[in-house]
């Protein structure tokens, strides 16, 4: 109730900019859902800019249209989630018969491939469009593809990759 009351008080004056720090903290699941919906709709319905600060990156991923990643006082990224994801490695999980031949075919075509314990392949891709290229290649080579799944890293995964990279660069400098 304190979170809701605080937000209600902040909205009374119809500000152009609303700054929220961990707005879903302490809410039950239904309250979290309501708060997310409200925060997403405020910019559209009132033209208000909402600045959200949170360590819960899964929350940010569900709410924000634009993201800024700050690490040790430096802005590492600013833009949309899709822009951020497009700069990251994508993994494609491929299920195909004749695994060894498929690995050889994909490697000859320049893909980085790993065989998984569950008899599927993981292929490092640069973009979602690579899934189409990989599938076409395998089908053209007469492989029977029975599974194809694209996995993009979560905002949390991307944040850790970016901040670890910055920490490593600082150690090497």
Q: What is the DSSP string of 52-72?
A: EE-S-HHHHHHH-SEEEEEET
Tell me how far apart the alpha carbons of residues 18 and 81 are, in angstroms, rounded to a whole number.
21
pLDDT, one tens digit per residue, over 116-158 is: 999 999 998 877 788 999 999 999 999 999 999 988 778 888 8
Cβ(66)–Cβ(80) under 8 Å?
A: yes
Asked whether residue 59 falls in the same domain as residue 96, the answer is no
Structure tokens, 78: 């600013």
Q: Is 13 part of a structural domain of the chain?
A: yes
| Closest by CA position to 68, among listed 85, 58, 86, 80 | 80
Asked whether residue 94 falls in the same domain as residue 44, the answer is no
CATH of the domain at 8: 3.40.50.300
Domain limits for position 51 = 2-64
Task: State residue 169's pLDDT score.
Answer: 60
How many folded domains does the chain comprise? Answer: 2
């Amino acid at each position: 109730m304190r979170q809701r009351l605080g937000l209600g008080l902040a909205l009374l004056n119809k500000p152009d900019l609303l700054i929220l720090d961990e707005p879903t903290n302490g809410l039950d699941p239904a309250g979290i859902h309501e708060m997310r919906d409200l925060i997403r709709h405020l910019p559209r319905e009132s033209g208000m800019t909402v600045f959200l600060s949170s360590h819960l990156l899964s929350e940010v991923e569900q709410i924000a249209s634009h993201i800024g990643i700050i690490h040790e006082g430096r802005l590492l990224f600013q833009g949309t989630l899709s822009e951020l994801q497009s700069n990251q490695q994508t993994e494609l999980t491929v299920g195909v018969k004749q695994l060894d031949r498929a690995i050889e075919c994909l490697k000859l075509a320049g893909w980085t491939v790993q065989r998984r314990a569950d008899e599927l392949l993981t292929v490092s891709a640069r973009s979602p469009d690579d899934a189409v290229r990989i599938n076409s290649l395998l089908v053209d080579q007469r492989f029977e593809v029975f599974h194809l799944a694209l996995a993009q890293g979560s905002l949390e995964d991307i944040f850790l990759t970016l901040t670890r990279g910055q920490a490593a660069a600082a150690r090497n400098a």
